[in-house]
């Protein structure tokens, strides 16, 4: 029954994404978390890490409006999207960080979003450790570009390393919550950390 429910839900959001013109059903995850935690405001500058194929950037451009800025980064190419700028590169490489710095040109960002996920090996311990490592890279991006009081959201696979990373994030932000949005598969081991009010003096 659980697997049947999971597949039914996956199919529902996939169909809804097609119907509403979203590039990925993951767009609904960001919508649901924004409704719960009010992450994005009109006029914000947003960094979307692991952005391909652009579903989260679609949601972010709608929420930031005409005066907002959305920059998406991924190792994969992303089709153009109105009011978004895409940078193809590996966020774990210094040259990509430098290219991002050039693109921002001294502007601090309001929100760092990361839906980055490792290539799945089938060995959960390995995949979970890689997931945490990607979260650490996303946090490094936040350290460099996020403005004081800004917000950070990242996907992490639950496992033995999750608690230590959560503790690290809690030491640097005012409040930290976890979320498993309705659009996630019931059987999924992923969860999201929502960290509000960046406190760089603590870093």
pLDDT tens, residue by residue, 71-122 = 999 999 999 999 999 999 999 999 999 999 999 999 999 999 999 999 889 8
Query: In this structure, what token pair is assigned to residue 92?
Result: 């774990």
Q: What pLDDT does residue 132 have?
A: 96
pLDDT tens, residue by residue, 160-170 = 889 999 999 99
Predicted confidence (pLDDT) at residue 203 exceeds the cutoff of 60: no
Question: What is d(CA 98, CA 142) in angstroms, rounded to the nearest whole number?
Answer: 14
Contact 115, 76 (CB under 8 A): no
**Catalytic residue selected from 155, 167, 177, 186:** 155
Q: How confident is the model at residue 187 (pLDDT cuts 50, 70, 90)?
A: low
Arithmetic mean of pLDDT, 162-185: 91
Q: What pLDDT does residue 18 have?
A: 78
Q: What pLDDT does residue 4 have?
A: 45
Q: What pLDDT does residue 20 have?
A: 79
Q: How confident is the model at residue 185 (pLDDT cuts 50, 70, 90)?
A: low
Q: What pLDDT does residue 98 have?
A: 96
Q: What pLDDT does residue 8 have?
A: 52
Q: For residue 155, indicate whether it is catalytic.
A: yes
pTM greater than the 0.85 cutoff = yes
Q: What pLDDT does residue 2 have?
A: 56
Spell out the domains of the chain, with CATH numbers in brackets: 26-202 (3.40.50.150)
Contact 107, 98 (CB under 8 A): no
Contact 34, 40 (CB under 8 A): yes
Sign (positive or negative) of CA dihedral 179, 52, 107, 145: positive
Predicted confidence (pLDDT) at residue 138 exceeds the cutoff of 50: yes
Q: What pLDDT does residue 6 have?
A: 54
Which is more confident, 154 or 20?
154
Question: What is d(CA 27, CA 54) in angstroms, rounded to the nearest whole number?
Answer: 9
* Listed residue (114, 100, 120, 104) closest to 60, CA to CA: 114
Contact 135, 157 (CB under 8 A): no
Q: What pLDDT does residue 16 have?
A: 81
């Amino acid at each position: 029954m659980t697997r049947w429910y999971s597949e039914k839900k996956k199919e529902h959001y996939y169909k809804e994404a097609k119907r509403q013109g979203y590039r990925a059903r993951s767009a609904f995850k960001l919508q649901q978390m924004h409704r719960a935690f009010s992450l994005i405001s009109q006029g914000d500058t947003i960094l979307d890490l692991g952005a391909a194929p652009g579903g989260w950037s679609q949601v972010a451009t709608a929420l930031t409006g005409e005066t907002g800025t959305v920059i998406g980064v991924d190792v994969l190419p992303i089709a153009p999207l109105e009011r978004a700028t895409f940078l193809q590169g590996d966020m774990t490489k210094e040259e990509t960080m430098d290219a991002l710095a050039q693109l921002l040109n001294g502007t601090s960002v309001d929100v760092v979003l990361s839906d980055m996920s490792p290539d799945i090996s089938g060995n959960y311990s390995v995949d979970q450790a890689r997931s945490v490592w990607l979260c650490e890279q996303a946090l490094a991006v936040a350290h460099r570009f996020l403005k004081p009081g800004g917000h950070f959201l990242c996907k992490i696979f639950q496992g033995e390393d999750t608690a230590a990373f959560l503790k690290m994030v809690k030491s640097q932000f005012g409040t930290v919550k976890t979320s498993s949005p309705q659009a996630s598969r019931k059987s999924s081991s992923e969860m999201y950390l929502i960290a509000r009010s960046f406190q760089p003096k603590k870093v």
